[in-house]
Homo-oligomer: A and B are copies of this chain.
């Protein structure tokens, strides 16, 4: 069992209305000088061993389904251990 994280973000040249809305809301709440872009985070639990072939498969899955590569880019990275079963207690609790 391996954990892979795929981050999907709007390309820099693409408008990001969600991020703009969040940026505006932060300003109205008094949080100044923060500019936000919003994307998606996918945490994949991969059965079996994570070899190069399996990682290439994750790349293909990201390209085919998780990201719209016309307007988004994605990054794939391997995380050491499944962490979401124990979210950091000091944050966001």
Chain A residues in the interface with B (C-beta under 8 A): 7-9, 11-12, 19, 22, 25-26, 29, 31-48, 57-67, 69, 72-76, 84-88, 91-93
Chain copies in the assembled complex: 2
B9 touches A62 (CB 8 A): no
* Closest residue of B by beta carbon distance from A67: B92
Assembly CA distance A52 to B64 (angstroms): 40
Selected from B7, B29, B46, B66, the residue in CB contact (under 8 A) with A41 is B7
Q: Across the interface, do A31 and B9 meet the contact criterion of CB distance under 8 Å?
A: no
A40 engages B42 (CB within 8 Å): no
Q: Which residues of B contact A25 (CB under 8 A)?
A: 65
| CB-CB under 8 A for A38 and B36, given A69-B93, A88-B75 | no
